[in-house]
Structure formats: C-alpha cells, structure tokens
Structure 1
Amino acid sequence: MLPDYLSAEGEQRCRRLLAEVTVRLRARPAAAAVLVPLCSVRGVPALLYTLRSSRLAGRHKGDVSFPGGKCDPTDRDVVHTALRETHEELGLVVPEEHVWGVLQPVYDQRKVTVVPVLAGVGPLDPQSLRPNPEEVDEVFALPLTHLLQAQNQGYTHFRQGGHFRYTLPVFLHGPHRIWGLTAIITEFTLQLLAPGTYQPRLAGFSLSRR
C-alpha cells in the first residue's frame, strides 16, 4: 500500500527537504515559474495538469504543462509568479502558506530558467475549474499511483547534428502524453514524494548541469 502523500507527516518531510533550496531560489531572479499542484481527486492523491491552448503562439501550444508563465517585474518572487499565473489561467486561488517549497530549476532549449513551485491545493474536482480559454484548452489530474507505475513511464532520446544529446522522461497512458520540461518536473516531484517507490528513468540526470 502506498503512503499517504497528503498526510501532515508527508508534507512536513517534503517541506524540510525543500527548505534550503526554497530560500536560495526565492531570492534568485528567474525567467518563469510554474505551480506543481498536488491535489486530492475523490480522495486519491494526484497532480493537476493543463493542456495549453492550441491558439497560443509558439512551439509549445497544445502541450501538457503545469500552470505558470513568465515572471512579471511586479512579482515579489517565483512563488508569487506561480500563484499569480495559476489564478490567471485556472481561476484557482492557492494561499502562499499552502506552498511546500521550490524544486530545482529546469532549463529549456534557449537556456531559460523555469522554477517549479510545489503546493498542496487540497480536494479538487478538475471539472469544476473554469480555465482561461485563451491559455488553456483542458485541465486534468493524474493519480500519483498512475504516474508511479512502470508501465506508464518511458523515455525519449534526443539527437542533434547526428549526435546523441540527452534523454528525457515521458509519462504515458493518461489523457495526454506528458513530455519535455513538464515530464522532468513530474519526475523531480515523484522523487521527492516517493523516494522508496519511484525509480528515476534518468539516473543522475539534471538539466541544471547541461
């Protein structure tokens, strides 16, 4: 039986593990931040995802992502950016005290820094949310038990100029394929929540070392 990831003990363990990096990264400027919403759907612990609008400009339209976006000059820090963007995209208000901490940053192909912010958003019905149709086509949740099953995990190899560059995780068999930075952040989250259960697909891999 899997542990209760939403328990007070589990939350405190995660907060302790994230405390040092949270203090350091909150004070460091970043280009963008996303919220990693840990929720409970009909009593089942899950992660909440969005499907980016197909009407958006750029190469990531129609991709699965966590709510978030570019840091605004008026944002106090990356936590404020993640909470503000979540409210703008989903209409979901997450109090700052519900933030568990900040995960290690990831970097896109242009070396833009994206900081993931983990927060517990409590019991939630994804269908009750009213996402901004200009930014989000769909909202869905995937149970942690689904994400932790080996048959739902995979990886992709990337080549550039005819040479192998790196490997990234992929999560399969949900409503939509989870890949790219969102899959990396999902992997970081599972490593934190289930260190004895989740076996990383990318042992020792970190985009921060690219």
Structure 2
Amino acid sequence: MITVEKISQSLKNSKNQTQFTNKAAVLVPIIEIENQLHLLFQVRSKKLKWQPNDTCFPGGRIELSDISPEYTAKRETFEELGIALDQIIILGQLPKFIASFGMIIYPFVAKINHLDKLNDLIINYDEVESVFTVPIKWFITHPPKLATMFVGFKPDDNFPFDLIPNRTSNWQKKSQHDVYFYQYNDFVIWGLTAQIINSFISRININDEF
C-alpha cells in the first residue's frame, strides 16, 4: 500500500544517495614567485578519459566522506599535487558554477604556503601531466577572448507530436552560453577554468599596483 510515510522514507534515502553525486570543488591556488603572485595550474594526464591534456585547477567530485566542499578542494589538491592540507590557506570562496553537463562546482581561492619551487610538488602522474604558473597581473592586463557555444535539442523521429498541441516535427530548442579563452605562451586555458579565472579577476578588482 502506498502511504505518505513510505514516500517520505523513499525520498530521504534517495537524497542521501545523490546528495553529492553532481557536485565538485576546485582550488584556485596562489603561490609567490620572485615577489609576484601567480596562479598554479595543472595539465590533465593524457591517460584520462575525461578531458585529457586540458588545463585545469586541482579539484574533483565531493565524496560522502568529505566534511565540506572546502575540504574536498584541499583533499583533491593534496592527492593530485602533494600539497599538505596545512599549507593550504583558504582566502575565500567564489560564486558556484553550474557546468554545461549539470555539475555544480564550488571554487575556493587559497594561498599555498612553504612552496618555494614547483619541483617540490609531489605530482600524481596518473591524473596530472604537468604544472605551470601564470602571474595574476597577466590576467588583469589580458582579458579573455570570448566565443559562443550553442546547445540544441531536436526531437527524434519517434517523438509523440500527436500528444503535444502546437508542435510540429520542425520544432527544436537551443540555448547558448559564453566560452572564455586565455592563451598564455603555449598554454590555452578555456572553458570552466577560464570562467573561474574571469570571476576571480573581476572580484579582486585590483589595479596595476598588484
């Protein structure tokens, strides 16, 4: 027999199982090189099935055992780059992003202490191909290039148009969103990572005295 109590219990169980399946957190790491602040990036391993060789920030999916999205960002940074949790000083959180595939991304900006050179990193080469840095001032003086991505929905031949009034076989829907690109030397930073950078630069609102 269907009861309100059974429905309520089913929804609670479902929530527990899916609470973090579509959420992730990333760290925007700041390191100091020759008295200038840089952002630290990683290039994804060629062996990965999802976006191999793309430039990104350290991060990943929020796991059920993680106490918070902030902890996820720190944990993933340690797992990918070997940076200890007590070296990661969180400076603040940027607005969350919703990726085109529905993932909710929580970005955290952090200063990395006691990292004198990139060779000190313990890189997990199963996930990370290489690392590099870009001065924050460079992003301030080099706005991103902007392109447009269209996402379309077109019904299949078996779509039941007879059940929906005022729709024909020519009906389709599409949306669009902005895609940012930064090109620094031989590196192209684009997509969600570039969106996060653009948000970060807009928020700090600092002039050439930076």
Q: Is contact 1:142–1:174 with CA below 8 Å preserved after alignment?
A: no
How far apart, in 1, do the equivalents of 2:43 and 2:32 lie? 19
Aligned 1:26-175 pairs, distance under 5 A: 31-58=23-50, 60-95=51-86, 98-122=89-113, 124-150=116-142, 153-161=144-152, 165-175=176-186
What TM-score results when the alignment is normalised by the length of structure 1?
A: 0.72
What SS is found at the alignment partner of 2:134?
A: strand
Cα distance, 1:170 vs structure 2: 1.2
Q: Is contact 1:158–1:166 with CA below 8 Å preserved after alignment?
A: yes
Show the counterpart of 1:4.
Answer: none
How far apart, in 2, do the equivalents of 1:107 and 1:165 lie? 14
Q: Is contact 2:62–2:69 with CA below 8 Å preserved after alignment?
A: yes
Q: Is contact 1:126–1:141 with CA below 8 Å preserved after alignment?
A: no
Structure richer in strand, relative to its length: 2
How far apart, in 1, do the equivalents of 2:184 and 2:95 lie? 26
What TM-score results when the alignment is normalised by the length of structure 2?
A: 0.72
Aligned partner of 1:177 among 154, 168, 188: 188
5+ residue gaps, structure 2, are 1-18, 153-172
The amino acid of 2:43's aligned partner reads: L
Q: Is contact 2:88–2:111 with CA below 8 Å preserved after alignment?
A: no
Report the number of matched residues. 168
How far apart, in 1, do the equivalents of 2:88 and 2:41 lie? 21
User: Cα deviation per residue 1:86-107 (whole Å; 9 max; x = unaligned)?
Assistant: 0000001142871112111111
The amino acid of 1:131's aligned partner reads: I
Change (3 A) 1:125 1:193: farther
What SS is found at the alignment partner of 2:100?
A: coil
How far apart, in 1, do the equivalents of 2:148 and 2:123 lie? 33
Q: Which has the larger radius of gyration?
A: 2
- Give every structure 1 segment of 4 or more consecutive aligned residues whose post-TM-superposition deviation is greater than 6 Å: none
Cα distance, 1:191 vs structure 2: 1.4
Cα distance, 1:174 vs structure 2: 3.3
RMSD: 2.3
Cα distance, 1:164 vs structure 2: 6.5
